[in-house]
Amino acid sequence: MRDTFKLVGLLLSVLPTLVLAQGMTLEQIADLEQVGSAQISPDGERIAYLRSVPRDIPEEEDGPAWSELHVIEGDESQPFITGQVSVGGMGWHPDSRRIVFLDKRGDDATTRLYAISVDGGEARTIASLETDIAGYSFSPDGNRVALLAFEPEDEAETKLEEQGFNQVIYEEGLRDRRIWIVDLEDADGEARKIALEGSIQDVAWSPAGDRLAVKIMPQQLVDDTLVFTRIRIVDLQGEELGRIENPGKLGEMAWSPDGRYLAFIGTNLINDSREGRLMVAGRDGGEFTDLIPGLEGHVWHLGWLEDDRIGFLSYEGTGVRVGAIDADGGSQRTLLEGGPIFTGLSISGDGAVVATGNTPSHPDEVYRIGRGRAERLTNSNPWLADVALARQEVVRYPARDGLMIEGILVYPLDYREGARYPLILNVHGGPESHYSNGWLTGYASPAQHASGEGYFTFFQNYRGSTGRGVEFTQLSFGRPAMEEFDDLVDGVDYLIEQGMVDGDRVGITGGSYGGYATAWGATQYSERFAAAVMNVGLSNQIAAFGTSDIPWEFNLVHLGKWPWQDWELFRQASPLYHVEKAATPILILHGDADPRVDPTQSRMFYRFLKLQENPPPVRLVLYPGEGHGNRRAASRYDYSIRMMRWMNHYLKGEGGEPPPYRVDYGFEDQSDND
């Protein structure tokens, strides 16, 4: 596929006027590279970052994007480990002379901890275990490392599995994730396991050197990861020194440079749908303080600027604020706002700040933050400078009950005031998520391509979304498919009233909870939508509780009850029970290995729609091996093509029967798809 993309780039340079009028192609979207994470060295001299590089289909074997390691020194970026590689878990050794990362290379049987010198050379293993290493944290002097890995399988059970006794006992016999301490100075030293009750999600070695902060959950279940993970402070032998009884969801944590404080991102109540409160506790845990009570936003990233001062990223509305605050909650100030949409934060020992971030004109890149400005350090897609990108702006409108809702509108590339255009409504998942006014184009939301096709694309932060504080997220608690989805339609009506959108040519799409909203739009609000593309969405709230891997999360932060406590609420909130109202042509796409929203949700919805006396056009596409969203290059590209073809067919084309089920991918050796 990359040869095709190079041809597109050549055409861009030779025939700019002809090509630019078309906006981004789906091939260009599939070929977008971006920075995955960035970490500044402890001494502040260098920045290591990972760059995500999509597979070259069909020239390379299909799979998720490659992950390369690059290093910035001064203003120059140098490749360190590139090509067909999958570098993960990247960080720095405390000596600032070595970059460390997790990988399975060559003949490795398990994922190991590797290090590569900043002076170059080959990466070498510095630690390995019987099972894959999932995380690590170094002692302050760098001579020891705490490793996270699952318990090894029992040899007798492994032998039985090899003989064909490979039955799975659902949610029983789960292996816990443990901590092993390795002395890196002792070449013959064995890894020492720390015995703790529960399964470990994360570990952070205190800069004081005498203790570990551990995120621990009852057992290795996704539900436990989301809502039952708690912080424990233990010594190096595993003896508990203290605990933090944080209620509900838990985000990042970080020790202060002197080891006196532990900052973390959590909640104040078990029913809060998303972590976002900036908390601080002492070195022994215990009571903790919400440093910014009443914040109308969500803090998702933090780091220590000094021994008693914290830097953080707060997502507020459709923007991001870089802030700083003392450990006692005093002297809060804003370091930067109104800049890029930052998605990650890293702070050196001397307080230098680095972040990953995006804007409406490019995906995530590396930025250096200082003196009230953000300096961009990388350019992963230089060809984007030659592509015409559509206008993008924040829109605010009143819902039917008067509540102000925010959204981001991407205009048609050829927009003319006074003309009406078709609209694609793109609904985010969660609902504990939100859209920021940055780069919004991806395989499932190809907004910059749609703009070239003559569409508006609208990204709304309906009630229940994050970015506006706890009270706003709680507005949809226990009220599924009620006011939250009315907000979506109210936004469409607003754009129609402004004379911008053709009300007869409105499509809806989204994934996960956005897929749920899409199914709702195709049933309860079917008269409002002329096309729908549903991705990994649920159609039956009752069945979702019985087939998902997060029933407790559904209960605690979404509905507040179990199905048997209010069968009617769950039935009324299920699109499956409203299929007789469906008239909207709907394309349903789902990974057949999705553990979050079981594929039966899509299968049942498809079957019930098809069995109607006068069914709407409907098609179900399953992606083998894909989970809750597509990761492989081929399935992502296929998704983009099918989505836009469906929208074009029903919002701009002749409609009627669905387009052919086969897809022309544009490969020279592809057989006739008609």
Per-residue pLDDT, 9: 40
CB 525 within 8 A of CB 531: no
State the DSSP H helix or E strand holding residue 37, giving kind and residue range, or none if neither: strand 34-40
pLDDT at 674 over 60: no
> How many Å apart are CA 118 and CA 466, to the nearest integer?
39
> How many Å apart are CA 470 and CA 275, to the nearest integer?
9
Angle value at C-alpha 651, between 646 and 657, nearest 5 degrees: 55
Q: State both tokens at 425.
A: 């409504």
pLDDT at 18 over 50: no
pLDDT at 440 over 90: yes
Q: Is 452 helix (H, G, I), strand (E, B) or coil?
A: helix
Phi and psi (nearest 5°) for 331?
55, 45
pLDDT at 6 over 80: no
pLDDT digits (tens, 9 = 90+) for 227-241: 999 999 999 999 999
Of the pLDDT bands very low, low, confident and very high (cuts 50, 70, 90), residue 555 is: very high
Classify residue 370 as exposed, middle or buried by CB count within 10 Å of its CB (0-12, 13-18, 19+).
Answer: middle
Question: Considering just the CA atoms, what is the radius of gyration of the chain in Å?
Answer: 25
> How many Å apart are CA 552 and CA 23, to the nearest integer?
44
> How many Å apart are CA 207 and CA 199, to the nearest integer?
24
Of the pLDDT bands very low, low, confident and very high (cuts 50, 70, 90), residue 671 is: low
Angle value at C-alpha 20, between 18 and 21, nearest 5 degrees: 70
> How many Å apart are CA 355 and CA 366, to the nearest integer?
6
Q: Provide the pairing of β-strand 240-244 with 230-235.
A: antiparallel
Sequence-separated (6 or more) residues with CB below 8 Å from residue 10: none
Per-residue pLDDT, 667: 84
> How many Å apart are CA 45 and CA 20, to the nearest integer?
40
CB 138 within 8 A of CB 94: yes
Per-residue pLDDT, 158: 87
Of the pLDDT bands very low, low, confident and very high (cuts 50, 70, 90), residue 670 is: low
Q: State both tokens at 48.
A: 């290591």
Report all structural domains of the chain as residue ranges with CATH numbers, in order of start: 1-31 (no CATH), 389-652 (3.40.50.1820)
pLDDT digits (tens, 9 = 90+) for 128-177: 999 999 999 999 999 999 999 999 988 898 899 999 999 989 999 899 99
Looking at residue 475, what DSSP letter applies? G
Please give the model's pTM, rounded to 2 decimal places: 0.94
Q: State both tokens at 363.
A: 């995906």
Sequence-separated (6 or more) residues with CB below 8 Å from residue 385: none
> How many Å apart are CA 522 and CA 590, to the nearest integer?
17
CB 267 within 8 A of CB 289: no
Q: Is 259 helix (H, G, I), strand (E, B) or coil?
A: coil
pLDDT at 3 over 60: no
Q: State both tokens at 463.
A: 């009630």
